[in-house]
Every structure is written in C-alpha cells, then in structure tokens.
Amino acid sequence: MKGLLKNLTVAAKGACMGAADVIPGVSGGTIAFIMGIYDEFVGSLASFNAEAVKLLFSGRFKEFWKHINGTFLLSLVAGIMVSVVTLAGLMQMLLTNYPIQTWAFFFGLIVASSIFILRGISGWKLREAFMLVSGVLLGAVVCTLSPTQTPEGLWFIFISGAIAICAMILPGISGSFILLILGKYQYIMGCISGLASGNDFSRNLLILCTFGCGAVIGILSFSKFLHWLLARYQKETMIVLAGFIIGSLVKVWPWSNAEAIVLSQFPELAAADSLAGAALPAETVEMYMETADPHIAGAVILAIIGFTLVSGIEIVGRMISRRKTA
C-alpha cells in the first residue's frame, strides 16, 4: 500500500509537469524542481547508459529495471501523458477560438521566463551584454525567417520531438516553446486531441509515435551534452538562451497571426477555408482584419496573469532552493 501511494504521488507530480509542458513558457523542469523530483528525474534519465544496455540485452530485466529507476520513471511518464492528453484538446480549442487571448497569455509567460533567467545571472560585463544581444538577434531572425507552416513529414516530426524534449532539462524553457519556434505546437496538440477522441486514429498514432521516438533519441543523445554545457559554460549558455527567448517573442505576439484572428471571429470564413483546404487570400484577411475586434483589454489582462503565474512558480522554486542550500 505504501509503494502504491508513493507511485501515485509521483504520477500526480508528473501530471503537474505535463500540464506545464503543454503551456509554452512554463518549464516542466522547473515544476519538477519545485516538486522535489528534479534530481531523481535527471539522474534516472542519465542511468540509460552502457551498463543499462548490457543488463537489458543479457536478460537481467529486474536489475535493468532497478538500474534505470523504472518504477519511478513509469509512474512519472504516466502522469505526464494523462495530463498532456487531457489538456491538448483544451489548448487546441483556445488557439482556434480565442487566438489573441491565448497568445497574449503565452506572451506573458515567456516574458516572465526570460526575466527570471536574466535575474539569476551576475557579474555582467560588455562580453555578457554582447552575448545577450546576439541571442536576441538570433531568436528574432529564426522566428522571422521560420515559416508559419513547416513540413509535416515524419522526418520533421522526429526532429521536432528530439529538439523539444531537450528543453525539459533546461531551466526556464519548455518543450512547447520549442515546438512554437518549429511551427509544430498547434499541430502536435491537434494530433494528441484527435488521438484521444478517436479521429483519424491511425494517422495521429503514427505521428505521435514518431514524435515520441524522436523525443527518446533526443533526450538520450543530448542530455549528457546539455549537462556538460551547463556545467562548464552555464553563465554563457543561460545568457544566450535568455536572449533567444526575448527575440522569439515576435513569434507569440498576440496579433501576429492575422488569418487565425479572422477565422476565429468570422465562422463563415472558417467553414469556407476548411472546405477549400487552403489558406485565405491575403486580400480577404486584410479586409476582415479592419473590422475584427483586437481584444486589447482581454489580451493585456491575460498577459499579466501569465506573467504572474510564472513569477509565482519561479519565486517558490527559488525559496525551495534557498532552504535546501541552508
């Protein structure tokens, strides 16, 4: 009974991590730290090494399971998956029907994340300032040049999973944010929602399995490199990362996707667009944007709420860190 309760507690903590990972700007790694399982989580991932492979292929499954802390990982991943599947449909609905308000909320989240990363860096000099500016320019260029629609081939889905999962072990950045940059956030949320509802089951399952395989390969391949990078160049890495996040805000500006705004406020165009299977003409989008409601007040309120949410999470995390140090 005690073991079951422990596993359920880990699963509940995983559900909190999953909820964070669905929302761009909230780091699942930060939630894991607040919940007191970050070290065990990262250590369990690092245990997938040559020794684990040797135990697995020699048929010593019980020893392999113990070596990788399998019960902990299984409970945690189960909680994460339940949370992600539950919230994916909600996020898909919000992005479709309330794009301005949803992106404004994301905007506030990401602004707060970048500020807290910068606050944790001391000893600023001209070199650090140059690195920050370089990160901002890099983020802005990447987000400006990256197309709204990126490839939907399985090879790109695999790469997206491999890159996005690495954000889980980086403080202050989420996998969902990486998917935003790659133009695959709404696409993956739609696949998860579709799989849960049974719509186009085989296609969505194939896409998500490919994404999952990319995530597994990514975290096993890059986690040790990221730990090495943070161990030796933590300050430089975090400065460039914060700059990249700031520059990437152009991607989540609430009024940047005019077509999504028009489609959300004029249902008749949304129906025609889905039947045509193509994007709306630029002239149509421009004409309807003139009468569309910008929802400025609601966007500002939700951006503040998003900013406050991340601020609260970060403050709690820092308080816990100070107590552990003391």
Q: Structural domain boundaries of the chain?
A: 2-86+103-255+294-325
| Mean pLDDT of the 93-104 span | 87
Statement: residue 107 has pLDDT above 80: yes
Instruction: Label residue 301 by pLDDT band (50, 70, 90).
Output: very high
Q: Which pLDDT tens digit goes with each residue over 36-54?
A: 777 788 778 778 777 888 8
- Lowest model confidence (mean pLDDT) among 6-15, 40-49, 182-191, 245-254: 40-49
pLDDT at residue 80, as a whole number:
87
**8 Å CB contact between 221 and 76:** no
**8 Å CB contact between 254 and 281:** no
pLDDT at residue 69, as a whole number:
87
Q: Say which DSSP state 277 is in.
A: T
Statement: residue 322 has pLDDT above 90: no
pLDDT at residue 324, as a whole number:
65
- 279 or 84: whose pLDDT is higher? 84
Q: Say which DSSP state 170 is in.
A: S
Statement: residue 280 has pLDDT above 60: yes
| Mean pLDDT of the 308-318 span | 80
| Mean pLDDT of the 125-135 span | 88
Question: Tokens 């890059």, residue?
Answer: 222
- Lowest model confidence (mean pLDDT) among 8-12, 27-31, 77-81, 304-308: 27-31
Statement: residue 84 has pLDDT above 50: yes
Closest C-alpha among 312, 309, 311, 297 to residue 254? 297
Statement: residue 276 has pLDDT above 50: no
**8 Å CB contact between 128 and 235:** yes
CA angle 253, 254, 257 (to 5 degrees): 90
Question: Tokens 């956030």, residue?
Answer: 185
Statement: residue 255 has pLDDT above 60: yes
pLDDT at residue 326, as a whole number:
64
Closest C-alpha among 62, 72, 5, 18 to residue 42? 72
| Mean pLDDT of the 69-97 span | 86
pLDDT at residue 179, as a whole number:
85
pLDDT at residue 275, as a whole number:
43
- 281 or 59: whose pLDDT is higher? 59
- Lowest model confidence (mean pLDDT) among 58-62, 135-139, 224-228: 224-228
- To the nearest whole number, what is the mean pLDDT of the chain? 80
Statement: residue 158 has pLDDT above 90: yes
pLDDT at residue 34, as a whole number:
67
Residue 12 structure tokens: 């509940």
Rounded to two decimals, the pTM is 0.72
- 132 or 173: whose pLDDT is higher? 132
